[in-house]
Structure 1
Amino acid sequence: MIMMNSYEKIIRWPLSFRFWETGREYAKGRIEDGLRQGMWTFWYRSGAKQMEGEYKDGVQVGLWIKWWPNGQVATQGAFKDGWMHGEWNDWFDNGQKAMLSHWDMGRKTGVTTIWDRFGNEVKSQKHRAGREPRNYYPLMSNRDASFALATAQKMGMRNAWTRMVGKKVAAYLEPWQCTVWLMLFLPGYALLKPKMGLIAIPVSLVGAALISIGVVLATAYHDSITRPDIGLGKPKD
């Protein structure tokens, strides 16, 4: 008998200067063996529902719906094994139809029609069956999209850091962690040197290291309850 590690996961909104909104639920659903399974619901910081649908092995399946903050439906469509499939509809926040498209396992098919927010048709394009490229477009919440963009932007810095310190060091040490340690060590040394002389160097090194470890652990805990990509997988080709 195979035992699965299954539990309900709540992902929360991260720390914010608007402290009264900190800790609010961002997403809730079930995790099995590290991947999202079953129905998941997403909310805006305000508490309004933002998105809802089903996962299987970390990818979206079945019908998904996304809402604007005012409660108007923004997007509605279905996934098959993580790929957009069938008819998809998008609306503006005023309720006006924005786009109608058709998909076949991640490939556009049929006719795609786009309107402006006043109901005027802007564009209509016909797609040739079997000739369109296959693209992976998961339905994302606003926070998912921002996180994915920020992650992509950090890749260049991450790659440069790996080349500089090596893969083994980069696997355990992030650039920001070194920055935190340096920002703690320099002022600590400057404050202690007049009273302690050369002893201030090891004292400042150890003190900065201990505080840095605390910051790293606190950040890791914060990420474990707020990262929006927890439990996601990739569709199979």
Structure 2
Amino acid sequence: MHAGLLEADEYGYRIADPVIAQHLPPPVRIHHISDLHFGPKSADRVDAKDGGPVGAALAQGAGVGPVRDDYRDWLGSLPTSRRPHLLVVSGDLAEFAKGEEFAAARQWLEQVESMLAAHPELADGPRLLLVGGNHDVDWKRAEDASDPHGRHAPMAEALPDWPRPRLERPPSDSERSAHLRYPGAGLEVALLGSAEYGGEIDPEIHIMVEEVVRRSAAEARKELEQKAE
């Protein structure tokens, strides 16, 4: 298994070669899921939305109930050695950015978060990360010109405990994205907020990504140099 590079331990797997292990952190398992869509329509089967043969085939494969619950149940059935250490959930979490939809999403997220596997290098950092989508925006509030960022407030108020881009505030480099570093694991995550109509990404966000990559590379080189001294 894994060409002899990994072996099982209490956290799942570790690097088997002791020489390589001195220079690399333990492997980190990351799951990225998207489009939970808590709301009335999510209870529909796929064939209720697509009456054609493709919808029927997808519905037969998906079975009864939302796919998100299948993921949660599957995750709970896994041994600890196969569960993810880190979970990234991107939008859409809700259908219409309603309070009750976000409340249901929060309950589901708490259940899934409790199932994540422990990791020696992630113990002090958040391990469930969020990025909202266009369905997580209250577009009716966008009509209020006096509060141009209020459309993002429902998600911010309902899900304040997990890292996410702070789009409910006036835009700045530090708020339109959330940067998380896990130095011991050699991992950095940038959560970028682009929850607007059309899914277009502002040029400023592209620049931000390039800056994150440059900064991360510089910090990684500095850390390696310090270890080599």
Query: Larger RCO: Structure 1 or Structure 2 (Cα < 8 Å, ≥ 6 residues apart)?
Result: 2
TM-score with structure 2 setting the length: 0.22
TM-score with structure 1 setting the length: 0.21
In terms of fraction of residues, the more strand-rich structure is: 1
